[in-house]
Amino acid sequence: MDRRRFCHSLGGLLGAGLLFPFSSVACCDSHEGAASAFPVRIQGALGNTIIDAPPKRVIALGAGAEDIALSLGVVPIAIEPHVFGGDKQGYFPWFKEKIKQIGAPLPEIIPVYPELDIEKIISLKPDLILAPQSGFSEDIFRQLSSFVPVVAHPKLPWLTPWQEQIRLSGLALGKVQEAVLLEQKIHNLFLLYRQQYPQLQRYSFAYLNAGSRLSYLSSYVAGDPRVDMLMSLGLKLFPAVKEFSVRPGSFAANIGLENADKFFDVDIVISWFYNQKIKEEVDKISLFRAIPAIRRGSYIPLTDPEIIMATSYGSLLSLEWGLPKFMPLLLQAIENVPTKRGAL
């Protein structure tokens, strides 16, 4: 499929309401139908939550909740700030663009550092805290639950798959059918990219995080949204990554730079850095530089905070915004993989 046909196919799905989060298809259910689903009971790792009626004043916390709510047709009244990748106020660009597109007011910002501002939350009088991808402590969950229903992580903190995030959000918001459609939109988006770039399935990858101190090297594993996105595009997770031991509740295996040789046979390496200076420091580390994929240029060192977060979030809004910016980097890296390797 050439680029023109790809764009035409994407446009066709947009027009059909299969990719656009505020399509008439996604919003066709009556208010009465949504209300009849309540009360709902949601089980979580920290406790159960009962929501008596469709929420109207939703605060979205953690990662991705504001994107999912917005894609389901619910504008949060407040969100937490995103310091890395967000603007000065803490809004991600894809979220802010969608808010502007639909003509809604920007949500208020809830301070979370050095600790969550619970007094601010109380003052906004929410009827739901939506945070399926979060890491609330039992104490925070108990404080919040004393005055508002809270949907927190269902199992392990920060390890809720994007599909489950959508389903929990749909249930909590009374948007179950819309959530089913939203999940399908993301599957369709990945399908279009796989059809456009079928060659991706021939290549292996590892998503690494290296530090300039303490001989630090870690590899993200399946279940992390960065890794899941790349696999959904058709790339194969490097087999050695599957063998690394991961601490419970973690999305990365800490292996140390002394084990960098375990990645000598990977086709593509992706890594992210807080800034260009840190990248340059890591590039000077001989053990890291010895990885063949890095030496030959089949290496994607991400330093743009917006692209880093867009490809780490896993929401429809972030993917639609970030993939067009990430794909040229990926295709360039593939060009630097030796032909005989890509044919494996």
Q: Could you read off the pLDDT of 260-287 as tens digits, one per residue?
A: 999 999 999 999 999 999 999 999 999 9
Question: Dmax of the chain from CA atoms?
Answer: 64
Whether 25 has a pLDDT exceeding 80, the answer reads no
Mean pLDDT score of the chain, rounded to an integer? 89
Our measurement of the distance from residue 22's CA atom to the centroid of its chain's CA atoms, rounded to an integer in Å, reads: 20
- Tens digits of residue pLDDT in 7-20: 444 444 433 334 43
Query: Which range (165-169, 175-179, 255-259) has the least confidence?
Result: 255-259
| Section 8-35 average pLDDT | 42
Higher pLDDT, 114 or 7: 114
Neighbouring residues of 140: CB distance < 8 A, sequence distance ≥ 6: 116, 118
pLDDT value at residue 250? 82
In the structure encoding, which two tokens stand for residue 23, read together? 């399509």
| CA–CA distance, 36 with 55 (Å, rounded to integer) | 13
- 34: pLDDT confidence band, cut at 50, 70 and 90? low
Inter-residue contact 75 to 65 (CB < 8 Å): no
| CA–CA distance, 116 with 143 (Å, rounded to integer) | 11
- Tens digits of residue pLDDT in 75-103: 999 999 999 999 999 999 999 999 999 99
pLDDT value at residue 272? 95
In the structure encoding, which two tokens stand for residue 195, read together? 């059809």
- Tens digits of residue pLDDT in 118-128: 999 999 999 99
User: pTM score, two decimals?
Assistant: 0.86
pLDDT value at residue 211? 75
- 33: pLDDT confidence band, cut at 50, 70 and 90? low
Whether 74 has a pLDDT exceeding 90, the answer reads yes
Q: How many CA atoms lie within 13 A of 248 on its CB side?
A: 2
pLDDT value at residue 127? 97
pLDDT value at residue 341? 54
- Tens digits of residue pLDDT in 207-252: 999 876 667 899 999 989 999 999 999 999 999 998 888 887 788 9
Tell me how far apart the terminal alpha carbons of the chain are, to the nearest angstrom: 22
List of domains in the chain: 40-189 (3.40.50.1980), 199-336 (3.40.50.1980)
In the structure encoding, which two tokens stand for residue 73, read together? 């047709």
Whether 37 has a pLDDT exceeding 60, the answer reads yes
| CA–CA distance, 144 with 128 (Å, rounded to integer) | 10
Higher pLDDT, 30 or 165: 165
pLDDT value at residue 213? 67
Whether 53 has a pLDDT exceeding 80, the answer reads yes
Higher pLDDT, 244 or 186: 186
Task: Report angle CA 273, 256, 203 to the nearest 5 degrees.
Answer: 65
Whether 330 has a pLDDT exceeding 50, the answer reads yes
| CA–CA distance, 21 with 97 (Å, rounded to integer) | 13
Residues of the chain with pLDDT > 90: what percent? 78
Closest CA to 85 of 273, 333, 335, 293: 273
| Section 129-149 average pLDDT | 97
pLDDT value at residue 119? 97
